[in-house]
Amino acid sequence: MKKRFLKPAAIFISGFAVCFTILFMLGNSSTELKNAVSTPTEEFPQSYKIVSPKFPPSLKFAGEGVPLENFEVFERIEREILVNTYWHSATVLTLKRANRWFPLIESILRKNRIPEDFKYIAAIESGLANVVSPAKATGFWQLLSEPAKKYGLEVNNEVDERYDVEMATEAACKYLHEAYNKFGNWTLAAASYNMGMTGVARQLERQKTNNYYNLVLGEETSRYIARAVAMKVIMLNPKNYGYQIEDENLYAPLKWNEVELSDQKVNLADYAFSQGANYKILKYYNPWLRDDMLINKSGKTYKIKLPVKGSINMIE
């Protein structure tokens, strides 16, 4: 079979034609793209800008001053304000959830004489959701199993009280009191919530300081207080940072009554129906119930939350 080859001149002319066609198409596409970008539309208004958010002239965390005159501290906090300002989805969800959970958390902090600013620690730890970290830290306050037990929580396959916002906040308060008594400083107590009291004490001794902001720390703990301060700044004045969320779009606080349960070998689906609810509602209001059965060999009395009648829009 005879092979056919194009002559050099034909190759040149064909290649030129192809290149010309491609350039012509790209030219048209570029013009259309330019027009689309430069012409304001409802989806992409010209007024939309990426800006450096305003920085407050002074800041405090838990009543303790933040040394903004230290340029490294200023830039560290500004970084977190920038990150959380433009991390839209996460910050919107935290703002919505805060309307539901902050009043409850604040009341427990007040009762335990913990500064209210520690609610922002819960916000940065979990986004105010019952999440589980790769290290198995769990719940709003991201408690590990052994510390949770130390501070009075039950943790096993049936019951994990780290998932209960009230009980977990109480446990966190116990830890924070212990840390404050050790360091005499709420900022260091907060830092120790991230790296542990032993870790903070070791670094204070090693670096010969008693000031968190003078410590050289790993990135996570170095950014930790800055994240909490940044969330405080944004959540106190969300509209200043572009978050215009109407009140009706915030998540409403939950209303519940508590009933006592001390029975053994309880089928939770059956129990829910006996209380005029269903299994989904029972688990939503009591996420610390980790199985579909409560064996309760010790006969312990548990407080079960059930929604106030007519307070929710769930299928019953």
Looking at the structure, tell me whether residues 78 and 121 fall in a common domain.
Answer: yes
Domain boundary among 249, 271, 288: 249
Query: Is the CB of residue 172 less than 8 Å from the CB of residue 119?
Result: no
Q: Looking at the structure, do residues 266 and 228 belong to the same domain, yes or no? A: no
78 and 223, same domain (yes or no): yes
3-state secondary structure 12-79: HHHHHHHHHHHHHHHHHHHHHHHHHHHCCCCCCCCCCCCCCCCCCCCCEECCEECCCCCHHHHHHHHH
Does the residue 27 lie in any domain? Answer: no
Last residue of a domain, one of 249, 264, 295: 249
Total residues found in the chain within this entry: 316
Q: Looking at 249, 265, 292, which one is the last position of a domain?
A: 249
Reported in sequence order, the residue ranges of 207-265 that DSSP labels E, i.e. its strands, are 256-261
Surface-to-core class of residue 124, CB atoms within 10 Å of its CB (0-12 exposed, 13-18 middle, 19+ buried) = buried
pLDDT for 251 equals 97
Residue 316 belongs to some domain of the structure:
no
Three-state DSSP class for 253?
A: coil
Clarify whether residues 77 and 117 are in a common domain.
Answer: yes
Question: What is the spatial distance between Cα 252 and Cα 96, in angstroms, rounded to a whole number?
Answer: 9
pTM recorded for the entire structure: 0.83
Q: How far apart are CA 291 and CA 283, in angstroms?
A: 9
- Clarify whether residues 286 and 175 are in a common domain: no
Buried/exposed 77-113: b ≥16 CB within 10 Å, e otherwise: bbebbeebbeeeeebeebbebbbebbeebeebbeeee
Distance CA 107, CA 5 (A): 86
- 124 and 161 belong to one structural domain: yes
Look at residue 281 in the predicted model and tell me its pLDDT.
Answer: 96
pLDDT recorded at residue 32: 46
Nearest one of 208, 153, 155 to 175, comparing CA atoms = 153
CATH number at residue 158: 1.10.530.10
* Shared domain check, 166 and 104: yes
Same domain, 110 and 138: yes
Q: Are residues 171 and 274 in the same domain?
A: no
pLDDT by residue for the chain (316 residues), tens digit each? 433 333 444 444 445 454 444 444 545 544 444 444 444 455 545 456 788 888 899 999 999 999 999 999 999 999 999 999 999 999 999 999 999 999 999 999 999 999 999 999 999 999 999 999 999 999 999 999 999 999 999 999 999 999 999 999 999 999 999 999 999 999 999 999 999 999 999 999 999 999 999 999 999 999 999 999 999 999 999 999 999 999 999 999 999 999 999 999 999 999 999 999 999 999 999 999 999 999 999 999 999 999 998 766 555 4
Whether residue 189 sits in one domain with residue 144? yes
The b-or-e profile of 294-316 (16+ CB within 10 A means b, else e) is bebeeeeebebbbbeeeebeeee
The alpha carbons of the chain give a radius of gyration, in whole angstroms, of 28
Do 279 and 207 belong together in one domain?
no
Which residue in 13, 57, 113 sits closest to 233, CA to CA? Answer: 57
Predicted pLDDT of residue 43: 52
Task: Look at the chain and report how many structural domains it folds into.
Answer: 2
Side chain identity, residue 5 = F
Q: Based on the domain organization, do 264 and 295 belong to the same domain?
A: yes
Question: What domain range is 267 assigned to?
Answer: 256-307
Is 37 within a domain? no
